[in-house]
Amino acid sequence: MQTTYPGRWKSRPNTASAFSMLRRVGFLGVLLIVVLTTASAGAPVQLSYVYSDSMEPTIGVNDGYILVPAGEVQNGDIVTFWSDERDAYVTHRIVGQTADGYLTKGDNNPQIDQETGYPPVTRGEIRGEVLTVGGEPLLIPQLGFVLATARANLSAVLALAGGVLALLWAREGQTRPTRDLTRVRDVAGPVFLVGFLAVGGLLVYGGSSHDIPLVAVESAAGASGPRTVLVGTAEAVETQIELPQMPLTTRVVGSHGIDVTTMTRSATNLSIEGTIHPARTIGPVPAQITVNRYPAVLPHSVLVWLHNWHPIAAASATSGLIFGPLWVLYWVAIDGREPIRRSRSRLWTILTEGFE
Q: pLDDT digit string (tens) for 168-221?
A: 665 554 544 445 566 777 777 778 888 888 888 778 777 777 877 777 777 766
- 305-325 residue pLDDT tens: 888 888 888 888 888 888 888
User: b/e per residue, 282-309, with b = 16+ CB within 10 A?
Assistant: eeebbbebebbbbbebbeeeebbebbee
Q: Is the pLDDT higher at 148 or at 16? A: 148
**Cβ distance 179 to 8 under 8 Å?**
yes
First CA to last CA distance, the chain: 19
Q: Is residue 3's pLDDT more than 50?
A: no
Are 77 and 93 contacting, i.e. CB atoms less than 8 angstroms apart? yes
Look at residue 125 and tell me whether its pLDDT is greater than 50.
yes
Strands 46-49 and 64-68, how do they pair? antiparallel
Q: Choose from 31-40, 102-111, 204-213, 232-241 the range with maximum mean pLDDT.
A: 102-111
Task: Bin 85: left if φ > 0, else alpha if -120 < ψ < 50, else beta.
Answer: alpha
- What does DSSP assign to residue 221? G
Residue 328 has pLDDT above 70, yes or no: yes
Q: Helix 15-36 and helix 154-171: axis angle, to 10°?
A: 160
pLDDT band of 347, cuts 50, 70, 90: low
Q: How confident is the model at residue 71 (pLDDT cuts 50, 70, 90)?
A: confident
Cβ pair 61, 50 in contact under 8 A? yes
pLDDT average, residue stretch 128-147 = 85
| Distance between CA atoms of residues 62 and 53, nearest Å | 9
| Secondary structure in 3-state letters for 47-82 | EEECCCCCCCCCCCCCCEEEEECCCCCCCCCEEEEE
DSSP class of residue 138? Answer: -
Residue 129 has pLDDT above 70, yes or no: yes
Reduced DSSP (H G I as helix, E B as strand, rest coil) percent helix, strand, coil of the chain, to 5: 35, 30, 35
Query: Residue 217, class by beta-carbon neighbours within 10 Å (0-12 exposed, 13-18 middle, 19+ buried)?
Result: middle
> Which pTM value belongs to this model?
0.49
